[in-house]
Amino acid sequence: MTTNKNHSPYHPIMGLDNGHHKVKAAAGHPDKQFPSLSPSSPPPPEFCLHRHQLLITQTPKMVIIFATVALSCLVLYHSSGDYNPFAAGNNPANSGINLVELKSILENATMGNNTVIITTLNDPWAEPNSMFDLLLESFRIGNQTKRFLKHLVVITLDQKAYARCLKLHPHCYNLSTNGMDFSREAYFMAADYLKMMWRRIDFLHAVLNLGYSFVFTDADIMWFRDPFPQFDKDADFQIACDYFKGNSYDLRNLPNGGFNYVKSNKKTIQFYKFWYNSRLTYPGLHDQDVFNKIKFNPFIKNVGLRIVFLDTRYFGGFCQPSKDLNKVCTMHANCCVGLDNKVHDLGIMLDDWRKYTRSLVSQRTTHESTVSWTVPQLCRGSFHRPRAPTKKDGHGRMR
C-alpha cells in the first residue's frame, strides 16, 4: 500500500482533485458487463455513450446516428427526474436534503482542503452510554485525534438523535426521510437497515456534488491515530476491508463500506450515482454487497476511478484485527451484529487502548509494549446467536 507521510489534511499540497489529472484506473474484470437496467429506469448517459462510441469511427452518417442516440439517452435520462451530478444545486426529488443548511455545516467543519469527516446516527446509537459516546471518547483518547472532532459532521436520521447530537457536538445535520422512521435499531439486512444504508449512499453523493471530499466512518469505528498519512494521495476512492489480501489494488479484497476516504471530483460523483442506481439491478442487497458486484464493472475503468483498498494493519476490525497497536489507526466492530454486543466490546477495546498508552510511559520505546486486544468477546459468534427480544425500557423506548 502506498504511504505518504507528508500529505496530512493540514498540508497545503493535499488539494482537492479536480478530475483534470490523468490517473491510472483500477483494473476491471474483463468478463463482467454492465448490469442490466431496471425496466422502469432509463439508461444513464455513460451507458449509452459506451455502447455507441465505436460508431464515431464510421461514416458521417453513423456520426449523426451516434449523436442522435446519445441525445436521446440524455433526454430520456434527465426526463426521469433522476439525480444529475453535473447540475449545480440539483438533488434527488423528495430527498429531504436542505442543501443550504448542509453546505453551511460543511463549511464550518471543513479542513483546509474541503475535506470533512462524516458519521451517521439514529436514536439507539446516540443514546447515553451507547455508540456515539464511544466514538467521541475514541477521538479524545487517541494519539493526536482529538483535533479531528472539529471536522466531524454527524448526520442524524431521527429527531431524538439530532437533539442528543446538539448537546454534545457542534456540527449536526438532521437528514429526514419522508415516510420512514429510522429511530429504532435497524437489524442487519432487515428492510429498514437496507433503506438506511442506501439513504447514506444517496446523501454522500450529495456531499460530493457540493464539492466536499470526506472520510466516512461508521460510529462503531474507534479512532486511535491520524489515518491521513496512510492514505494513497493519488486515489479517488479508498475503502476499508473486512479481509485484506495484501495488495491494496487487488479488486478481490473484501471491502467494508463503513470506512472510506473519497475525493470530490467528476469521477467519484459519477461513481456514487452508478453505485446508488445499482441497487435496482441488485435488489435486496446492501451497499457493500452491491459494491462487491460493481467493482469489476467496465464502468469503473471507463470513468478512470482509482480504487485503493486499505490495509487492515492500519484499518482493522473484529473480522481481521490490526495486530500492532503501534500502527493501528482505526478499529471497527465489524463481523458483529447487535447494538449491545458492539457497545460491550468497543468499551473493552477503549480500555485496551488506555492500557496500551499507560504502558508506554513505563517503556523506553513503543516497540516494547506487550499490550494486545482482548476483543472480540460478545461479538464473537453474534451472527449465530438468536437475537434478544425487543422490549421497552423505563423511558418507553424500544430496546
Whole-number pLDDT of residue 177 = 63
All cell numbers assigned to 161: 438523535
Query: What is the spatial distance between Cα 381 and Cα 373, in angstroms, rounded to a whole number?
Result: 17
Q: Which of 58-72, 74-88, 137-151, 156-170 has the lowest mean pLDDT?
A: 74-88
Whole-number pLDDT of residue 28 = 36
Element (H, E) at 152: strand 152-156
Mean residue pLDDT of the chain comes to 78
Highest mean pLDDT among 30-34, 38-42, 60-64, 205-209: 205-209
Q: Which of 48-52, 82-86, 111-115, 332-336 has the lowest mean pLDDT?
A: 82-86
331-361 confidence digits (pLDDT tens): 999 999 999 999 999 999 999 999 999 999 8
User: Is this prediction's pTM over 0.85?
Assistant: no
Share of the chain above pLDDT 90, in %: 61
Whole-number pLDDT of residue 215 = 98
In single-letter form, the type of residue at position 254 comes to L
CB within 8 A of 359, min separation 6: which ones? 369, 370, 371
Higher pLDDT residue, 282 or 368?
A: 282
Whole-number pLDDT of residue 333 = 98
Mean of pLDDT values over 204-208: 97
Q: Which of 184-198, 282-296, 297-311 has the lowest mean pLDDT?
A: 184-198
**Phi then psi dihedrals of residue 273, to 5 deg:** -65, -45
pLDDT classification of 191: cutoffs 50, 70, 90: low
CB 336, CB 375: distance < 8 Å:
no
Q: How is residue 392 annotated by DSSP?
A: B
CB 169, CB 249: distance < 8 Å:
no
Interior angle at CA 148, CA 144 and CA 150, nearest 5: 135
CB 141, CB 131: distance < 8 Å:
no
pLDDT classification of 7: cutoffs 50, 70, 90: very low
All cell numbers assigned to 252: 478481490
pLDDT classification of 48: cutoffs 50, 70, 90: very low
Whole-number pLDDT of residue 366 = 52
All cell numbers assigned to 130: 451507547
Long-range contacts of residues 78-82, Cβ cutoff 8 Å, at least 24 apart: 79/42, 80/41, 80/42, 82/41, 82/42, 82/277
Long-range contacts of residues 383-391, Cβ cutoff 8 Å, at least 24 apart: 383/335, 383/337, 387/187, 387/337, 387/338, 388/338, 388/340, 390/184, 390/185
Whole-number pLDDT of residue 237 = 98
CB 329, CB 226: distance < 8 Å:
yes
pLDDT classification of 196: cutoffs 50, 70, 90: confident
235-292 confidence digits (pLDDT tens): 999 999 999 999 999 999 999 999 999 999 999 999 999 999 999 999 988 899 999 9
Higher pLDDT residue, 32 or 296?
A: 296
Whole-number pLDDT of residue 117 = 98
Q: In what order do the strands lie in the sheet with 315-317?
A: 221-223, 330-332, 315-317
Q: Which of 59-63, 121-125, 198-202, 327-331 has the lowest mean pLDDT?
A: 59-63
Whole-number pLDDT of residue 367 = 56
Higher pLDDT residue, 34 or 70?
A: 70
All cell numbers assigned to 48: 449509452
169-189 confidence digits (pLDDT tens): 999 999 976 555 444 444 444
Where do runs of H (alpha helix) occur along the chain? Answer: 45-52, 60-79, 99-109, 123-126, 131-141, 159-168, 191-209, 266-277, 287-294, 298-303, 339-361
